[in-house]
């Protein structure tokens, strides 16, 4: 099935923010999680104007998205989201390769990732290296792992 990587459109923002919420709900986060970080899960017009953001579109619609924040020579993975109904089809890998290529093209020397612990093994398989813990805590109460993917 062909896939298309493209920037999101302003009119898609509500659906993309909903996808972020649906994806996190799939992983079992409760109402406390959503009340704590619902604003961080939204994708905004400012995000798509100022930051690299991409969506992956397939025949049946949007399958996922990735959002990078750039700070000097460091990029931060803000979001890598795949529709739970479309998991297991390689879309996360496609998005992650886009993230790495985009960060390199922007002149970054590393990508910082602070995933929920259940996602850590994916980033390890993709070449990211554990670099301690994030200063922020997971909603589950423990520390978030920090990973660095050298570019």
Domain boundaries, position 92: 4-110
Quote the number of domains for the chain. Answer: 1
* Single pTM value for the model: 0.88
**100 found inside a domain:** yes
- CB 55 within 8 Å of CB 7: yes
**73 found inside a domain:** yes
Task: Kindly report the CATH number assigned to the domain that includes residue 71.
Answer: 3.40.630.30
**142 found inside a domain:** no
**43 found inside a domain:** yes
**14 found inside a domain:** yes
**102 found inside a domain:** yes
- CB 95 within 8 Å of CB 54: yes
**139 found inside a domain:** no
Q: What is the pLDDT along the chain (151 residues), one digit of tens a residue?
A: 689 999 999 999 999 988 988 877 656 655 555 454 555 668 899 999 999 999 999 998 999 999 999 999 999 999 999 999 999 999 999 999 999 999 999 999 999 999 888 889 999 999 999 999 987 755 556 678 999 999 9
Q: Judging by DSSP bridges, how do beta strands 110-113 and 74-82 pair with one another?
A: parallel
**129 found inside a domain:** no
Residue the block writes with tokens 């998991």: 87
- CB 77 within 8 Å of CB 111: yes
Instruction: Return all residues near 62 (Cβ < 8 A) that are at least 6 apart.
Output: 12, 15, 16, 19, 55, 56, 83
Distance CA(29)–CA(56), nearest Å, equals 24
Distance CA(126)–CA(107), nearest Å, equals 20
User: Kindly report the CA angle at 132 between 69 and 98, in degrees rounded to 5?
Assistant: 35
């Amino acid at each position: 099935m062909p896939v298309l990587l493209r920037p999101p459109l302003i009119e898609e923002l509500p659906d993309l923010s909903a996808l972020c919420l649906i994806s996190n709900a799939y992983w079992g986060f409760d109402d406390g999680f959503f009340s704590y970080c619902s604003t961080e899960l939204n994708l905004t017009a400012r995000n798509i104007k100022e930051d690299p953001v991409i969506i992956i579109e397939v025949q049946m619609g949007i399958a996922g998205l990735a959002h990078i924040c750039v700070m000097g020579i460091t990029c931060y993975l803000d979001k890598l989201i795949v529709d739970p109904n479309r998991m297991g089809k390689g879309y996360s890998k496609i998005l992650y390769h886009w993230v790495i290529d985009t960060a390199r093209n922007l002149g970054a020397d590393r990508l910082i990732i602070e995933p929920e612990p259940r996602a850590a093994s994916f980033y390890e398989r993709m070449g990211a290296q554990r670099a301690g813990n994030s200063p922020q805590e997971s909603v589950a109460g423990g520390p978030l792992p920090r990973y660095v993917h050298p570019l």
